[in-house]
Amino acid sequence: MVYGILTLGYHFYLSVSDGSKYYPDYITHLVAVQTDALLNGLGYDASITPHPHEASIKIIINGKYIARVIEGCNAMSVIILFLSFIVAFAGKLKTTVLYGLAGSIIIYAFNLIRIVILSIGLYHYPWRREVLHTVIFPMLIYGTVFLLWMFWVNRFSKNIRPNE
């Protein structure tokens, strides 16, 4: 139920999102801006620009189009899945809320780092695009979520019975 409510709320957010100021939507735009800042902070000459033909933002490193940030890159669907699991195995209310918030921040930050490393990898090793984008980096983000879930269930969940 929580998954359905959060997913419907997110789809509503996307449907009312005004792409004129924050293209394609605020969260995706924020991820692209933060990716750009991190890449530049690491010494790359990076920039972002709206994609002219689709709802995405292009990441450009040293004048070379490397990747695009789409709505699916902003980690919101992963955070919704994470929060749904946490609520399904809820502990005390305060603990559940704080862990949900902390876990969401960890997932968001890890996803941002993932995009930066993926962009650098695609810049230096473009022939590894498929394995980087479809295998290694999804495995890392979902692995992080899995570890957060296991920590939650083993440490805080009320649905676990102590060994007798």
Q: pTM of the predicted model, to two decimals?
A: 0.90
Q: Is the pLDDT of residue 100 over 60?
A: yes
Q: Is residue 163 part of a domain?
A: no
How far from the centroid of its chain's Cα atoms is residue 32's Cα?
A: 11
Task: Using alpha carbons only, give the angle 83, 89, 93 rounded to the nearest 5 degrees.
Answer: 75
In the prediction, which pLDDT does 136 show? Answer: 83
In sequence order, the 6+-apart residues with CB closer than 8 A to the CB of 28 are: 56, 57, 69, 70, 71, 73, 74
Q: Is residue 160 part of a domain?
A: no
Q: Is residue 17 part of a domain?
A: yes
Q: Is the pLDDT of residue 106 over 70?
A: yes
* Cα 97 to Cα 103: distance, rounded to the nearest angstrom: 10
Q: Is the pLDDT of residue 40 over 70?
A: yes
* Cα 127 to Cα 121: distance, rounded to the nearest angstrom: 10
* Cα 38 to Cα 32: distance, rounded to the nearest angstrom: 10
Task: Count up the domains in the chain and report the number.
Answer: 1
Q: Is residue 62 part of a domain?
A: yes
Q: Is residue 149 part of a domain?
A: yes
Q: Is residue 161 part of a domain?
A: no
Measured between alpha carbons, how far apart are the two ends of the chain, in Å? 32
* Spatial contact of 114 and 141, defined as CB atoms under 8 Å apart: yes
User: What size, in residues, is the chain?
Assistant: 164
Question: What is the arithmetic mean of pLDDT over 35-46?
Answer: 97
Q: What is the pLDDT of residues 46-99, one digit of tens each?
A: 999 999 899 899 999 999 999 999 998 999 999 999 999 999 998 899 999 999
* Cα 56 to Cα 105: distance, rounded to the nearest angstrom: 23
Q: Is residue 110 part of a domain?
A: yes
Percentage of the chain modeled with pLDDT above 70: 96
Range of the domain at 101: 2-155
